[in-house]
Structure 1
């Protein structure tokens, strides 16, 4: 009877040694995937915060620079694209367009010294600047979470668990093409 029990114990130990790493890898992937989701939500929250600030900023500037209708239209269109973004790539492209439009708006502001001294405008720009910093940090946190998740997903033996349970690769948050270009503003039509 003892001889029959020995192979069962060996099989039980082998199964135990296979199940524990499988459970551990699965739980690690779930945790990292949740961190990616949380980081993505944090980006959304900060982008929404910026989107909520923009109408106040635009309305303040409109009173001083009403002839800059194209910039106001670009900002409104970019905000709409950002609100309608359905994935990280679309969101990054819309975010880049909105950032470019805001940069052009702030360049226009340079031509209106009385606007720059307006307390409401100064408060809004300080809030917007703080939000831009939060967005940058949220993007960095998201990319860190995605990198950790994708790395774990590709490592052995987690790659086997990832493919068995459908853990898909997550995209990094990347700026759209042309995002590093300085926006051009032409003041020659003024005056």
Structure 2
């Protein structure tokens, strides 16, 4: 009888420990996503200023500027992780195009406001890359715990499911936009 009681206590402690670890990992993944969300918001807030500055110099780039504005609006709406990654990938590619267009306008490249916005965008992209790595690292750890035996049994009992990675499908979007100061 004492052996059964000891085994039951051991099992209960094990389940509690695994459950608490899963809770911790889930919260870290949510924190990681929050970090990405903050940086995406900072970038989205920067885009209208960048568009306005370029618009003053590059009147005939209207279609590109409208596309950036549309993607910026799309990026601040709530999405699933996969949809957010796709939207951010499209915005990053379009911002790259904007930087290429800016190269054709010497006055724009010399504008102090534009240079400041480029620098801020570059800093945000670097921070965003770090936030993505943190999120994906915590998701990897959580998903591994959810899939590994015997913690997968506890995860199944408490209805834990895998979190999606923040992945960019286009290889060119994996790099921050080229910002030439």
Q: Contact 1:71/1:101 (CA < 8 Å) preserved in 2? A: yes
Does residue 139 in structure 1 map to residue 136 in structure 2?
no
CA contact (8 A) 1:96 1:179 kept: no
1:102 aligns with 2:95: yes
Partners in 1 of 2:65 and 2:79 — Cα distance?
24
Q: Please report the TM-score for the alignment, with normalisation by the length of structure 2.
A: 0.92
Which residue in 2 is equivalent to 1:186? none
In the other structure, the counterpart of 2:65 is 72
Matching of residue 31 in structure 1 with residue 46 in structure 2: no
Greater helix fraction, Structure 1 or Structure 2: 2
Counterpart in 2 of 1:41? 34
Deviation at 1:54, TM superposition (A): 0.7
State whether structure 2 residue 109 is matched by structure 1 residue 116: yes
What is residue 17 of structure 1 aligned with on the other side? 10
Partner SS, residue 60 of structure 1: helix
- 1:45 is displaced (CA, Å) by 0.4
Give yes or no for contact 1:36–1:146 (8 Å, CA) kept in 2: yes
Residue in structure 1 matched with residue 52 of structure 2 by the alignment:
59
Q: Does structure 1 residue 180 correspond to structure 2 residue 168?
A: no
Unaligned runs of 5+ in 1: 1-6, 182-191
Question: Aligned pair count?
Answer: 173
1:162 aligns with 2:133: no
- Whether the 8 Å CA contact 1:85–1:94 is kept in 2: the answer is no
CA RMSD, 1 decimal:
1.1
CA deviation vs aligned residue, 1:58-93 (integer Å, no higher than 9, x gap): 111111001101111110111122122421001000
State the TM-score, normalizing by the size of structure 1. Answer: 0.88
Aligned to 1:187: none
Q: What is the CA deviation profile of residues 143-187 of structure 1, one whole-angstrom value per residue up to 9, with x for unaligned ones? A: 1010000011111211000000011101111113x4527xxxxxx
Q: Determine the C-alpha separation between the residues in 1 that align with 2:59 and 2:53.
A: 10
CA distance in structure 1 between the partners assigned to 2:29 and 2:59 by the alignment:
42
Larger-gyration structure (1/2): 1
Give the C-alpha shift of residue 17 in structure 1: 1.2
